[in-house]
Amino acid sequence: MAATGKTHENWSSRSAFILAAVGSAVGLGNMWRFPAEAGENGGGAFVLFYIFCVLLIGLPVLLSEVLIGRHGQANAPESVRRVARDSNAPEGWSILASMGVFAAFLILSFYCVVGGWVVYYIGVFISDLVQTGLAGGAFEGRAAGDIEGLLPGLFGNGGLMVGLNLGFLAVTMFFVARGVSSGIEWVAVYLMPIFFVLFLGITIYGAFTGNFGEAVAYLFTFDFSKLTGEVMLAAVGQAFFSLSLGVAGMMTYGAYANRDTNLGETSGIIAGADTMVAMLAGLAIFPIVFAAGLSASAGPGLMFQSLPIAFQAMPFGSLIGLAFFVMVFFAALTSSVSLLEAPTAYVFEKFKLARPVATLIVGLGAAALGVLSSLSFNDMAEFYPLSFIPLFAETNFFDTLDGVTAKLFMPIGAILTCIFVGWIADAKLIDDENGLDGVLHQTWRVLVRFVCPIALTIILLAGLFA
Ligand code: PHE
């Protein structure tokens, strides 16, 4: 049942697809958001529930998404429409992907704000390296409060925030405008291997120099009493965010996959790599933070404030700091590229525009929202767009977009995807695409039909109303 009307390029190989998808999954979500969320939600209980969510919910949903894309061979809403059409089901189901495309656009807008902070810290460490030289720690002779003050200092400078934000977005637009093989695939194939080398080096370094034991105990000691509805919703939201789910991104990448790619196996590799990086990121960041006697619950400040203080005490601190933020930059770029690609593919196929034109339109929209997010740290700090909803009371523009996408759009998109793939789409069509046999296939079916939609609905309601 090959779909007709193919309008786009394909990945040049299966490994290119895997690198691009892992590139999408591994990003600020692993390095910045995961340790922050784990720390804010009490460590062990959050982490173990997170792993549970990845295996039982994230992985089945991931396979469902790439499968829809591969069958449809088009932008996400059009792919859902084609699966629906080939299953004699209402084409209106494409709404689930339209919502996803919109959510990807929202995430892109604030993701590039944080991408801008990463660029700022690259600059900070380069200038530190130039000033103090290679040996010794970072920020020689500067007080901890001073180093911690770098981030609020940046936040206070609205112009710089906006500039860095738009700069990061512009780099993202450059690669998406170049297309699948010479842009998106290029960044993944060159940057992801460099990322992994740097990442392993820093993790090993952190394990030897930091307080590894305390970090392991903190991340993996399960305390049931800490597992509240809110913690569970935060963990599911983080699992989706980290695996790039519920926002049409993986559908879009699945559409560029060839017919002979085994999607079941590929999804396993993507989820495995992403989760490994999140765990190792926790095991790299927390030992360093604990060794420096800093608090685990610093939240978003953990990567940007606590870690640089810890680099101060380390041999070769400036160089390690620079390597760390360059690595995070690479990971963030391969993710922002996928966030931009989902809406761009939709706009250029739907309105029959040239790819660069569509990239520009979507990019300008993300720039406008990005400016509001950047300013929510300074001039617009008191603007709470959804203050009438208790969950988002006193939440600024940036945090509102983060919360709404991870806690509403992603779980709702995933629930609809499961119902669509599990109950609406033609079973034969699904079987032909998923690359699973026997017990694995049966397990996946049960997860998608029953476990995922029910568990997600309960967690969503518990998190919102409990
Ligand atoms: N998964 C990416 C990260 O962890 C973020 C992302 C979310 C990318 C949704 C694409 C779609 O940083």
CATH assignment at residue 177: 1.10.4160
Q: Is residue 389 part of a domain?
A: no
The reply to whether ligand 1 has any atom less than 6 angstroms from the CB of 247 is: yes
**Both tokens of residue 323?**
């390597």
Number of compact structural domains in the chain: 1
| Domain contains 77 | yes
3-state SS assignment for residue 21: helix
For the Cβ of 172 lying below 6 angstroms from any atom of ligand 1, the answer is no
Nearest to 340 by CA among 371, 356, 362, 372: 362
Which residue type occupies 232? M
Q: What is the model's pLDDT at position 193?
A: 94
Contact 420, 80 (CB under 8 A): yes
Q: From atom 10 of ligand 1, which residue's Cα is the shortest distance away?
A: 244
Please say if the pLDDT value at position 372 is more than 90. Answer: yes
CA of 87 to the centre of ligand 1 (A): 30
The residue length of the chain stands at 466
Question: What are the helix (H) ranges across 133-209?
Answer: 144-148, 150-155, 158-177, 185-209
Going by pLDDT thresholds of 50, 70 and 90, the confidence category of residue 186 is: very high
Whether 116 is in the pocket of ligand 1, judged by its Cβ within 6 Å, is no
For ligand 1, say whether the CB of 242 is within 6 Å of any of its atoms.
yes
Q: Could you report the per-residue pLDDT of 265-308, keeping only the tens digit for each? A: 999 999 999 999 999 988 888 887 887 788 888 878 889 988 88
User: ∠343-346-348 over CA atoms, to 5°?
Assistant: 105
Going from the Cα of 321 to the center of ligand 1, the distance in angstroms, rounded, reads: 23
> What is the tens place of the pLDDT at every residue in 46-94?
999 999 999 999 999 999 999 999 999 999 999 999 999 999 999 999 9
Per-residue tokens: 443: 């397990």
Which ligand 1 atom sits nearest the alpha carbon of residue 335?
8
Q: Is the CB of 335 under 6 A from ligand 1?
A: yes
Most informative mutation of 240, 242, 335, 401 for ligand 1 (most atoms within 8 A of CB): 335
> Residue 143 corresponds to which tokens in the numbers above?
């007080």
| Alpha carbon of 33 to ligand 1 centroid (Å) | 10
Output the pLDDT for position 1: 40
Residue nearest to atom 4 of ligand 1 (CA): 29
Average model confidence (pLDDT) for the chain?
A: 91
- Ligand 1 contact, 30 CB (< 6 A): yes
Which atom of ligand 1 approaches the CA of 243 most closely? 1
Ligand 1 pocket, residue 106 CB under 6 Å: no
Question: In sequence order, what are the residues at sequence separation of 6 or more whose Cβ sits closer than 8 angstroms to the Cβ of residue 288?
Answer: 206, 209, 210, 307, 310, 311, 314
Listed residue (96, 450, 109, 359) closest to 251, CA to CA: 96
> Other CB atoms closer than 10 Å to residue 428's CB: what's the count?
11
Both tokens assigned to 13: 């190989």
The answer to whether residue 127 sits within a structural domain is yes
Q: Is residue 359 part of a domain?
A: no
Structural domain containing residue 239:
14-345+405-465
Distance (Å, whole) CA 422 – CA 430: 9
Using a 6 Å cutoff on CB, does residue 107 contact ligand 1? yes
Q: What is the H or E stretch that residue 433 is in?
A: helix 427-434
- Residue 211 maps to a domain: yes
| Percent of the residues in the chain that have a pLDDT greater than 90, as a whole number | 68
> Taking the C-alpha atoms of 46, 48, 49 and 53 in order, what is their torsion angle to the nearest 10 degrees?
130
Task: Look at residue 366 and tell me if it is in a domain.
Answer: no
pLDDT digits (tens, 9 = 90+) for 406-422: 889 999 999 999 999 99
pTM to 2 decimal places: 0.94
339 ligand 1 Cβ < 6 A: yes
Of the ranges 103-112, 140-149, 309-318, the best mean pLDDT one? 103-112
Atom of ligand 1 nearest to the CA of 410: 9
Residue 1: inside a domain: no
Contacts of 196 (CB under 8 A, 6+ apart): none
Pocket of ligand 1 contains residue 23 by CB under 6 Å: no
Q: Taking a C-beta distance cutoff of 8 angstroms, is the pair 429, 83 a contact? A: yes
Flag whether 118 is in a domain. Answer: yes
Question: From residue 262, how far is each of 56, 148, 338, 394, 440 by CA, in Å?
Answer: 20, 47, 21, 46, 13
C-beta of 275 in contact with ligand 1 (< 6 A) = no
Radius of gyration of the chain from Cα atoms?
21
Q: Is the pLDDT score of 141 beyond 90?
A: no
